[in-house]
Amino acid sequence: MPVRGSAPQTPGAPMTTLDVTGARTSDAADVITGARERIDALDDRIIGLIQERMAVSAVIQEARITSGGRRVNLSREMEVLGHYRDALGKPGTPLAMTLLELCRGRI
């Protein structure tokens, strides 16, 4: 679907920056493109941090299991849920739940 104010797309024609960003001006398209690049870089960092968290969690679980404890410490998970909820509001809870799920049972 063409962007308002842009020429209709010809089948097989390359998409323009305006088409890709949904912007209506070149200036806005430039801002969006730069911001998306920053978001992509942030996402890469976030993924790296999650992978690091998963590795640290595996160390904790291994130590707990080796000492005769359980793999999961529910009171600690409740602390994590509360921390994310307090920092991010209501959407922080499902985000923390997903993070905790990623970090469980990798050993």
**pTM summary value:** 0.77
Q: Which CATH number fits domain 17-103: 3.40.50.720, 1.20.200.10, 1.20.59.10, 3.30.70.1400?
A: 1.20.59.10
User: Per-domain residue ranges for the chain?
Assistant: 17-103
Please give the Cα distance from 79 to 91 (Å, whole number). 16
Please give the Cα distance from 25 to 33 (Å, whole number). 12
Per-residue pLDDT of the chain (107 residues; tens, 9 = 90+): 444 444 555 566 677 777 888 888 889 999 999 999 999 999 999 999 999 999 999 999 999 999 999 989 999 999 999 999 999 999 999 999 999 999 996 54
Q: What's the start-to-end Cα distance of the chain, in Å? A: 48
pLDDT score at 1: 41
Closest CA to 103 of 67, 70, 55: 55
| Cβ–Cβ under 8 Å, residues 52 and 106 | no
